[in-house]
Amino acid sequence: MADLNGRVALVTGAGRGIGRATALRLAQQGAQVVVNYNASEAPAEEVVAQITADGGKAVAIKADVSDAAQIDAMVGRVTKELGGLHILVSNAGITRDNLLMRMSQSEWDDVLNTNLRATYFLVKAVSRQMVRQRYGRIVAVSSVVGLTGNVGQANYAAAKAGLIAFIKSVAGEFAQRNITANAVAPGFIETDITAGLPEEVKKAILGRIPMDRYGRPEEVAAAIAFLAGDDASYITGQVLNIDGGMVMF
């Protein structure tokens, strides 16, 4: 495990699922973690409490990541109160699934705003601090759907594919400043969303996964933590699939 002592990490959407597991993992490795949330205050505070109980340091900050002003305020508070910001994990995301012919503009806009535009706001907000300190690790949570597309998820797939292209562009712009930017592309992971799927849908999904099981949030968190640490200092502009072999080719 990479030693993240002295690092400050901001994880968006960190109250549950992959974000929660990532916050816990980064804290376990020594980082001081900012647990961002928007609506889920109680779960976010539970993450902070668990980190604190385990001897780590964490703080929960409310901010709607689709709002640039709220992001700027959050990043400003973090850098002022914690003395820096070294790791950004852009994880917050939503789904508004529908077939394209039935998809409303609000369903399209809500997903693009939260899943793609927010990462632009976040990276822009943290980049000045990272350039100033000549160090940064940026990890965006994309999806295998951003590589393959998915029926009923044109909005989600477009946002996740856009994240990949965005991260590659960011990686090129900041490579000479000791700032890396990478993405992870999870497949089907055991979260609240997958838990609510009908059994026949779960069975069909498992049939597409060579490893014949769902992934765990902790497995995604481990990959994110690797990319956020110094062991990955020569890795940038990459996409790491965490999908049990679902997308091999």
Give the residue numbers marked as catalytic: 156
Q: Residue 67 class from Cβ within 10 Å (0-12 exposed, 13-18 middle, 19+ buried)?
A: middle
- Residues 217/191, Cβ–Cβ less than 8 Å: yes
- Residues 232/180, Cβ–Cβ less than 8 Å: yes
Q: 30 Cβ partners below 8 Å, 6+ apart? A: 3, 4, 5, 6, 7, 56
CA distance 104 to 102: 6
How distant, in Å, are the alpha carbons of 47, 120, 147 from that of 162?
A: 29, 11, 10
- Residues 96/107, Cβ–Cβ less than 8 Å: yes
CA angle 142, 51, 44 (to 5 degrees): 55
SS3 state at 166 = helix
Residue with tokens 């609506």: 39
How distant, in Å, are the alpha carbons of 51, 64, 154, 155 from that of 12?
A: 16, 9, 23, 20
Q: Residue 127 class from Cβ within 10 Å (0-12 exposed, 13-18 middle, 19+ buried)?
A: buried
